[in-house]
Homo-oligomer: A and B are copies of this chain.
Amino acid sequence: MYPDSIKNLAETIARLPSIGKRQALRLIFYLIRNQDVRRQLIQQLNELEKKIKICERCFLPFEGPGQLCHICSNPSRIQNIIAIVEKEIDVFSIEQTNSFKGTYHILSHLIDPSDINSYNTLRLDQLEKRVRRLPQQIADEIIIAISPTTEGDLTAMYLERKLKNLAKKISRIGRGIPTGGEIEFADAETLKNALSNRR
């Protein structure tokens, strides 16, 4: 019913996370009506294709020379402190705080308990190889910086067990009341964690 070029493109766009078939069609008709946005999108996707590389060490996308991102290749970053995060965006969020001087490992996804394959695609082999290449062949600290959701907690437990020989210390980011949040509205679990996490 739709012309082929619209139908095929709609199927691809509907494969993207949290975009359905109907929204895909709406996006396409918007692009058809707006030539400038459409051409800019094509041009910028080509730029992305041409320039973006994935860091061999931490899997962060980056631009520029070499095989390592600007964090892994920065001599002032501490290579034997590694923060494990779920996804790329989390690295940029943590970097914005300017309070972490270690390096990262991006899992790319959390464990989905209904998908046994999701245990094997967290790039932990690469993490182990990387740690074994450190001067001491062990990390000082692995910080599990994963959201405290159900799947996040499951993933964290799995990682703690799996990685225990890779680091002198394995920690998790602190749980508590978010800055600006009110104790009155915190759920019991958050409050419990905030109390035991006191300093």
Residues of A within 8 A of B (CB): 1-6, 8-9, 12-13, 15-19, 23, 25-33, 37-42, 44-52, 54, 61-64, 87-89, 92, 95-96, 108
Contacts and interface: CB of A to CB of B under 8 A. Distances in A.
Nearest to A17: B30
A28 to B, nearest CB: 7
Contacts of A33: 108
A39 B47 contact: no
Given A17-B27, A42-B42, A3 B37 contact: no
Top 3 closest pairs, chain A to chain B, by CB = A3-B63, A9-B44, A29-B88
A28 B48 contact: yes
Contacts of A23: 18
The secondary-structure label for the interface of chain A is helix
B12 A51 contact: no
Nearest to A23: B18
Nearest to A38: B49
Contacts of A49: 38-39, 42
B41 A45 contact: yes
Contacts of A37: 12, 15-16
A19 B15 CA distance: 15
A25 B17 CA distance: 11
Contacts of A5: 44, 47-48, 50-52, 63
A58 to B, nearest CB: 14
B52 A45 contact: no
